[in-house]
Structure 1
Amino acid sequence: MKWFINIWRTLNQPAKYLTLGTISLSAFLMGIIFWGGFNTALELTNTEEFCISCHSMESKPYQELQQTVHWSNHSGVRATCPDCHVPHNWSRKIGRKIEASHDMWGWLMQTVNTEEKFEAKRLEMASREWKRFDRDDSLACKNCHNYDSMNWGDMSKLAQKQMKRAAEINQSCVDCHKGIAHKLPDMGTARAPELIAQVGSGETGLVVGAQYFTALTKPLYFNQNTDVEAGTLNIATKVTVLETNGSRVQVGINGWRKNIGAGRVIYFDFGLNILSAQLTKAAALEDGVMEVFEEKQDPMTGLTWQRVEAKIWTDSDYLVNDLQPLWDYARDTYTSSCSVCHTQPAEAHFDANSWPGMFQGMIAFVNMDQDTQALVQKYLQEHSSTFDKSAH
């Protein structure tokens, strides 16, 4: 007991019983022991064996990895789980370990413990990793694949063109190489899945009189009950909620139309070919759907335009209250996708009516679903020299 009391006094008041040198040496040794133990524990959680100790990881991603070039190749170099998913930089590694607490919670709650649950979450998980790779400029890839070490002569002419351009701007690898180590999410009939994973599927409890923006291209209907379509509501279009009824809402779409034929197409603004909605001929001519406020002649074309509001029904999903996330996604997509082959022109390089022709000539060389195409084109038009005068 006396021995224990002496130890306690020494630890409680070390300066009273120990010399400064002894205290310093003890602290130094304890620091080494603590750091060694911490680093050992960190490295134990940074192995492929630890990663696949979780059944859901071993049965899905690990099995998929074994079917790719990252598992078996002519050079015999294999990429393991932490090579790609744990940053090599120490500070980023610690940050990633902290983020991994989310994975531990998922394991505890059995979020992806079955194949069905895993596939349902695959897009969400993949999108999160793609964002992290983009944020880090694909540093995990570049630990092995260095632009400066590439032998351009061993590449095809097309690969040389694309990779040299990517090297010039130090492009993130996942911009072009998604699905290189794991199966891509099953898109099925999903439209703009990465966009929806980022901005969500819409607000709940839509407020009458409030304004929202469409996160996808949506069908229009004559009323709250019918499934007969009355047209199409374009992505990133501002609408005002006029009435709600179950899963349907009546919206007001303000814009301009050309006074030609039935005047089915509603444009964002006077004289600008920025699409907001396209109604069927029957819907455009039906009483109570389209209200005309004024007429104006376009001096460039001689056409008469009418300022209108269409009151029509649509589904209540994919209506968001903030347009900026849509523009952010469109800007990032334009920057990454359209820089693969050449330097893309600035948004304000062309006017709003010139961009559709220019953009349609580009999309043949990139992989975009129709909603993403429509969103990027509208982003370019609404950020063109027509609205941004600083470029000209």
Structure 2
Amino acid sequence: MNWMKNIWRSLTTPAKHLTLGTIALSAFIMGVIFWGGFNTALEVTNTEKFCISCHEMGDNVYEELKSTVHYSNSSGVRATCPDCHVPHNWTNKIARKMQASKEVFAKLTGAIDTREKFLEKRLELASHEWARFDANGSLECKQCHSYDSMKWEDMSKLAQKQMKRAAENDQSCIDCHKGIAHHLPDMGASRAPQLIAEVGSGPRSFDNDASYYSSLTKPLYLSADTDVEAGLLNIATKVTVIDSSGERIKLHVDGWRKRIGAGRVIYFDFGINMNSAQLTMDAAKTDGVISVFEEKEDPLTGLTWERVELTIWTDADYMLADVQPLWDYAKSTYSTACSVCHTQPAEAHFDANTWPGMFQGMLAFVNFDQDTQALVQKYLQQHSSTFSDEKH
């Protein structure tokens, strides 16, 4: 321990022979050496060579980049990994480097060390990066692509219209240009990770006779212990829990159905084509599953509708006690994603039965997973002129 005491004594004893100038100069030189070493190491980690040194990146997204205009083009200007994915200003760059510790941990644990694991996590990874671009207005893109430098006359009429509107609002590039440098995730088969991250997966215990709302589209079952699906419970559907067993809950769904065929589809309200649930043919014919209370003829179509109550089981996960978080997420998603090409119509601009056709026409221009698509459509229908005082 003597050597440690000697070092400590040397560090804490005032200098007897060194001048203040010598100490200051030595400190300055040591500071320059430290800063130079730190900055050199920082810049090494800020190169494409470093990024693709891990096979997770080199074998997946880098191979995709090589087939795009950002990698090879007539002007010979290449956008490298850090050009797009590392902030250019120093403060945000350091913050991003600190966040990269998660990526180091993922490398050590083999989180995406196979192509299969990467594809499974692809939407989650892309969602994080899209959120970052949304938050900073695609600042990295705008280091090269400036609205002020664009030659509008060289664009097509449609591009001029969209880009000029984007320039007026200083719109984030990622709103329109997802998938421009890497392949898009499989949006159709995902389970809405951004939605669940915002609203949560819901409680695991339930009060009988209390109301809850499905936060995803969920399978239905005829009993608590069968694996045979009896249909689907649509997202944002109000249910009343009447029993629970293990990992499942038994519930009632109030609604209407058309008296045609087996009457497998349960609708939100009379005359409104807004699905709450749909059953298999066998489930719809099973005694005790559907109870009928009244009949009513739709004057517009001449079809007879029945007010019904569905009694069925579903998994206990992804049920919320309050529907408002779902509507908040749907409203935000509609406001951002559906304003890319034009000013989106107000929710009350159309009635509940018109919105599905209008909304389906927009889907070719956005990247929604199936649950988000169903949620936004239901949000528009339930906030349409049919149910709003602010009729168009």
TM-score when normalising by structure 2: 0.78
The whole-number CA distance in structure 2 between the counterparts of 1:293 and 1:378 is 25
Structure 1 counterpart of 2:132: 132
Question: Pairwise mapping of residues 215-364 of structure 1 onto structure 2 (< 5 A)?
Answer: 215-224=215-224, 230-244=230-244, 249-254=249-254, 256-257=255-256, 260=259, 265-268=265-268, 273-279=273-279, 283=283, 286-291=286-291, 308-315=308-315, 318-319=318-319, 323=323, 326-350=326-350, 352=352, 354-363=354-363
Amino acid at match of 1:171: Q
SS in structure 2 of the partner of residue 177 of structure 1: coil
**Gap runs ≥5 in structure 2:** none
Structure 2 counterpart of 1:190: 189
Structure 1 counterpart of 2:51: 51
1:110–1:365: structure 2 CA closer, same or farther, 3 Å change rule? closer
State the Cα distance separating 1:82 from its structure 2 match.
0.8
1:102–1:18: structure 2 CA closer, same or farther, 3 Å change rule? same
Q: Given the alignment of the two structures, is residue 145 of structure 1 paired with residue 145 of structure 2, yes or no?
A: yes
1:45–1:370: structure 2 CA closer, same or farther, 3 Å change rule? closer
SS in structure 2 of the partner of residue 39 of structure 1: helix
1:117–1:279: structure 2 CA closer, same or farther, 3 Å change rule? closer
**Gap runs ≥5 in structure 1:** none
The superposition leaves residues 184-224 of structure 1 with CA deviations (integer Å, 9 ceiling, x where unpaired) of: 3345x714555567469956855463654333334434445
Residue range with higher mean Cα deviation, 341-350 or 291-300: 291-300
The superposition leaves residues 222-245 of structure 1 with CA deviations (integer Å, 9 ceiling, x where unpaired) of: 445667664432122133444455
Structure 2 counterpart of 1:163: 163
The whole-number CA distance in structure 2 between the counterparts of 1:328 and 1:199 is 10
Amino acid at match of 2:38: F
SS in structure 1 of the partner of residue 112 of structure 2: coil
Amino acid at match of 1:92: N
Structure 1 counterpart of 2:379: 379
1:52–1:266: structure 2 CA closer, same or farther, 3 Å change rule? same
State the Cα distance separating 1:164 from its structure 2 match.
2.5
**Does the Cα contact within 8 Å between 1:123 and 1:193 map onto a contact in 2?**
no
1:10–1:221: structure 2 CA closer, same or farther, 3 Å change rule? closer
**Does the Cα contact within 8 Å between 1:213 and 1:238 map onto a contact in 2?**
yes
**Does the Cα contact within 8 Å between 1:240 and 1:251 map onto a contact in 2?**
yes
How big is the alpha-carbon RMSD for the aligned residues of Structure 1 and Structure 2?
A: 4.3
**Does the Cα contact within 8 Å between 1:165 and 1:340 map onto a contact in 2?**
no
SS in structure 1 of the partner of residue 343 of structure 2: coil
Alignment: residue pair count:
386
Structure 2 counterpart of 1:91: 91
The whole-number CA distance in structure 2 between the counterparts of 1:39 and 1:280 is 63
The superposition leaves residues 19-49 of structure 1 with CA deviations (integer Å, 9 ceiling, x where unpaired) of: 8777766665555444444333322221222
The superposition leaves residues 135-168 of structure 1 with CA deviations (integer Å, 9 ceiling, x where unpaired) of: 2221111111122222222222332233223223
Structure 2 counterpart of 1:181: 181
The whole-number CA distance in structure 2 between the counterparts of 1:50 and 1:180 is 22
SS in structure 1 of the partner of residue 340 of structure 2: coil
The whole-number CA distance in structure 2 between the counterparts of 1:217 and 1:175 is 26
State the Cα distance separating 1:182 from its structure 2 match.
2.0
SS in structure 2 of the partner of residue 334 of structure 1: helix
The whole-number CA distance in structure 1 between the counterparts of 2:75 and 2:37 is 35
Residue range with higher mean Cα deviation, 229-238 or 67-76: 229-238
Q: Given the alignment of the two structures, is residue 82 of structure 1 paired with residue 82 of structure 2, yes or no?
A: yes
Amino acid at match of 2:181: A
1:39–1:391: structure 2 CA closer, same or farther, 3 Å change rule? farther
State the Cα distance separating 1:53 from its structure 2 match.
2.4
The whole-number CA distance in structure 2 between the counterparts of 1:75 and 1:260 is 65
State the Cα distance separating 1:79 from its structure 2 match.
0.9
The whole-number CA distance in structure 2 between the counterparts of 1:9 and 1:246 is 67
Identical aligned pairs, as a percentage? 66
**Does the Cα contact within 8 Å between 2:134 and 2:174 map onto a contact in 1?**
yes
State the Cα distance separating 1:354 from its structure 2 match.
5.0
